Amino acid sequence: MGFFYLLTRKKFYIHLLIAVVLSVVLLWIALWSLDLFTRHGKVYIVPDFSGQTLEQLYEDDYDDFFELIVIDSVFDRTRPKGSIILQNPYPGAKVKKDRHIYLTLIAMTPGKVFMPDLVNLSLRQALVTLEAQELSTGNLEYVDYFARNAIVGQMIDEEPVEPGTELAKGSIIDLQVGKGEMNTSVALPMLISVKKEEVRRKLHYAYLNLGNEYYIDVVDSTSARVYKTNPPPLTDKPLQLGQKVNIWYRSDENFDFDAYLKQFLPDSASADTSMFNNNYE
């Protein structure tokens, strides 16, 4: 009887209306606050920052939209120091304002490593060891020594470098290598279409040296691939240990290396390769 009595009282409906209005208002405030906090529907496309420096990003006011955080640096002689090489999220990602963008930069200075002891190792073992230490192999100088392809000396700028010496990563180590007691010849590896940064390594593993390098239409070295060599590709003439091979590069952005490479495949023996039999010295 008490409940039905309340239904007849005007004050009950006034209180009910106030409660409903307050509930709606509070719900609206909660949803508005949540929308404001999450910036619902407001996203930004992450640009491609590669090649730019952190200073350039600040100059372009990207810090007004993203939280830029450097998490790592790597050393690479082929790229500008301080430039961005990796980012997370990746370019094109949709993110909210003030999203953390994690950046990896090219280090301003190389890290340090210790020179390993390569003497008496085989050439292949020495090459692998230098790669593991992030050191570069320079010139292979073959010298009189009974053990063929054994390391006799390790040099920097024609001076011996002792094991344990602290060096900058990427330092160039020249190797003195034994000739052995018999004359030995080697074959030229197939280098056509190989990227520039891989050429020296392939030659060293074939017991050869990199000679002169020529660039036909290359602007960015990262696009450079081998177009010609001297001695020429598929040569029948044996090469001497440590012989230098001259390289010509073209850009893979301007030249179809896939089609070009087919004439060097075994099933293309009838292709005209006379253009490679010229002396390019």
Q: Profile the chain (281 residues) by mean pLDDT over runs of 10 residues.
A: 58 74 82 62 87 94 94 84 93 90 91 95 97 96 95 96 94 96 90 95 97 92 93 91 97 94 69 40 37
Asked if residues 81 and 123 have their Cβ atoms less than 8 Å apart, the reply is no
**Residue 36 domain flag:** no
* pLDDT given at position 280: 36
In angstroms, rounded to a whole number, what is the distance separating the alpha carbons of residues 213 and 199? 11
Per the structure, the count of domains in the chain is 3
My answer on whether 189 and 177 are in the same domain is: no
Beta bridge partners of residue 66, listed in sequence order: 99
> Residues 271, 213: one domain?
yes
Which bin fits 110, alpha (ψ -120 to 50), beta or left (φ > 0)?
Answer: beta
Residues 217 and 249 in one domain: yes
Q: Rg of the chain's alpha carbons, rounded to an integer?
A: 33
Are residue 269 and residue 198 in the same domain, yes or no? yes
Domain boundary among 106, 128, 156: 106
**Are 167 and 189 in a shared domain?**
no
Instruction: Answer whether residue 126 is part of any domain.
Output: yes
Domain boundary (150, 166, 182) is at: 182
Domain that residue 147 falls in: 111-182
What pLDDT is stored for residue 115 in this prediction? 98
- For residue 18, being part of any structural domain is answered with no
Question: 201 and 249 share a domain?
Answer: yes
Report the pLDDT value the prediction gives residue 70, as an integer from 0 to 100: 95
Residue 236 domain flag: yes
The answer to the question of residue 1 being in a domain is: no
pLDDT number for residue 122:
97
> Which three-class secondary structure string do you get for 28-58?
HHHHHHHHHHHCCCCCEECCCCCCCEHHHHH
Is residue 275 a part of any domain in this protein? Answer: yes
Q: Which amino acid is at 8?
A: T
Q: Are 241 and 209 in contact (CB under 8 A)?
A: no
Is residue 128 domain-shared with residue 211, that is, in the same domain? no
Q: Is residue 27 part of a domain?
A: no
Show the CA angle centred on residue 180, arms to residues 176 and 182, nearest 5°: 140
CATH number at residue 83: 3.30.10.20
Looking at residue 37, what is its pLDDT? 57
Look up residue 131 and give its two tokens. 């790669």
Task: Evaluate whether residue 118 is within a structural domain.
Answer: yes
The residue among 106, 140, 160 that closes a domain is: 106
For 150-184, b/e burial (b = at least 16 CB within 10 A) is bbbebbbeeeebeeeeebebebebbbbbbbbeeee
Is there a single domain that holds both residue 239 and residue 277? Answer: yes
- Spatial contact of 155 and 173, defined as CB atoms under 8 Å apart: yes
Task: Indicate if 190 and 177 belong to the same structural domain.
Answer: no
Instruction: Specify whether 150 is located in the same domain as 194.
Output: no
Q: Are residues 162 and 191 in the same domain?
A: no
* Rounded-to-integer distance, Cα 238 and Cα 183, Å: 12
> Which pLDDT belongs to residue 268?
45
